[in-house]
Amino acid sequence: MVMRSHRSADVAGRRVLLRADLNVPLAGTQVADDSRIRAALPTVRSLLERGARVVLVTHLGRPRGMPVEGLRVAPVADRLGSLLGRPVPVAPGVVGADVEAIAARLASGSVLLLENVRFEPGEERNDSILSRRLAALADVFVNDAFGAAHRAHASTVGVAEILPAYAGDLMLAEVRALGGLLSRPAAPFVAVLGGAKVSDKLGVIDTLLDRVDALLFGGGMANTFLAAEGDEIGRSLAEPDLADRARELLGRAADRGVSLLVPDDVVVAPSPDGPALTVGRDAIPADCSAFDIGPRTARTYSAVIATAKTVFWNGPLGMAEREAFARGTRAIAEAVAACAGTTVIGGGDSVAAVRASGLTDRIDHVSTGGGASLEFLEGRVLPGVAAIPDASPADSGPA
Ligand code: ADP
Ligand code: MG
């Protein structure tokens, strides 16, 4: 089913509580990367153009239920204001009489940003009193915060149970793109999984094994598979207690005719700062760690990606934040960008790597979700998604 869209709601003159994920990285009082603010713009702009009085709410960082000076939303309001071309005032708090008075006076077509919702101890507990106080600020609730949809918090779930709730454009786009990978991926479907640990990705590997034609592994997680197959991996990052799980996954992949590929060559070094050397997977020196896939592996993976009709990629293929170990990730980013099929990337570090390569425009869907994207692909029902009613047939006009 499809969540009902905010575009099917009559919002003119009404107060709309809009939950967005504007949890951007800060450098002091500056927004270091405004991607998430930009991703929220279509819904914000649409609501404003339709005459809504928008009360916007987000979390920022992990203040753990109390005000933290460095995590105030003022820098977010400044950047949003310059993107919208109009000032975005910040409320003196999250909820309460003062904030209610300001929200009540808000003019049609204008926006107010609440203070960091995680300053409230009730937020992460999905406290019903906080939910009611949030609901008191508006007539309608729109959730566009896909990145927070895997958490049942007051501002994602509690308030959706009180006010009429709708999904924002980003929420709908994320669920459409990621849902498409689960329900109707065009074959061949190739998934590339990297990143630090297998344990983070076991759930996704499980659901993907039933759907993909090929799984390509890289990054730290691939080391666990190399070790499980009997290679000496030196001091590489790995999870030896998952060796049995890794062998079981290799077996299941073989049973299903899924080609599960692990690196055939790797870039090793004694430490991330040490001199790098490319070696075969069976020649990792005892005093070295594998920090990237090697060029032969990158070529093999790129050739598989080139044939795909659907690609999902999560997790860098190596320690991509270091130039010496970024080549594998860059090669895969280029292969995914060049692929003619439907391409979806998720995961904080992989998305950052693709962005650094300037290739995001050539990817069909770059998920802003991180943890939420992975949980969605594990086949779990995300509480923030479940809290929004389905669209009725009458709503399903052109978006
Ligand atoms: P994402 O955020 O895209 O989901 P992860 O958070 O799972 O990705 O993984 C990213 C991290 O994995 C980075 O910090 C990177 O340095 C680390 N990493 C990747 N490959 C290796 C490796 N071979 N050895 C050690 N760390 C690695
Ligand atoms: Mg990460």
The DSSP secondary structure of 219-240, one letter per residue, reads HHHHHHHHHHTT---TT----G
Pocket test for ligand 1, best of 200, 312, 319, 360 (most atoms within 8 A of CB): 319
What is the CA(221)–ligand 1 centre distance, in A?
Answer: 8
Local confidence pLDDT in tens for the 399 residues of the chain: 799 999 999 999 999 999 999 999 999 899 999 999 999 999 999 999 999 999 999 999 999 999 999 999 999 999 999 999 999 999 999 999 999 999 999 999 999 999 999 999 999 999 999 999 999 999 999 999 999 999 999 999 999 999 999 999 999 999 999 999 999 899 999 999 999 999 989 999 999 999 999 999 999 999 999 999 999 999 999 999 999 999 999 999 999 999 999 999 999 999 999 899 999 999 999 999 999 999 999 999 999 999 999 999 999 999 999 999 999 999 999 999 999 999 999 988 888 889 888 999 999 999 988 889 999 999 999 999 999 999 987 665 444
CB 18 within 8 A of CB 144: yes
State if residue 234 touches ligand 1 by the CB under 6 angstroms criterion.
no
Does the beta carbon of 220 lie inside 6 Å of ligand 1? yes
Tell me the CA–centroid distance for residue 74 and ligand 1, in Å. 31
Q: Whose CA is nearest to atom 22 of ligand 1?
A: 220
**Residue in 122, 234, 346, 348 annotated catalytic:** 348
CA of 355 to the centre of ligand 2 (A): 14
313 in ligand 1 pocket by Cβ < 6 Å?
A: no
At residue 54, φ and ψ (nearest 5 deg) are -95, 120
CATH placement of domain 184-377: 3.40.50.1260
Ligand 1 atom showing the smallest separation from residue 290 Cα: 23
Residue having the nearest C-alpha atom to atom 9 of ligand 1: 195
Residue type, 388: I
CATH code of domain 6-170: 3.40.50.1260
Q: For residue 84, give both structure tokens.
A: 């919208």
CA dist 116 and 259 (Å) reads 46
Global pTM? Answer: 0.92
Considering the chain, tell me which residue range(s) the CATH 3.40.50.1260 domain(s) occupy: 6-170, 184-377
Decide: residue 285, CB within 10 A, 0-12 exposed, 13-18 middle, 19+ buried.
Answer: middle
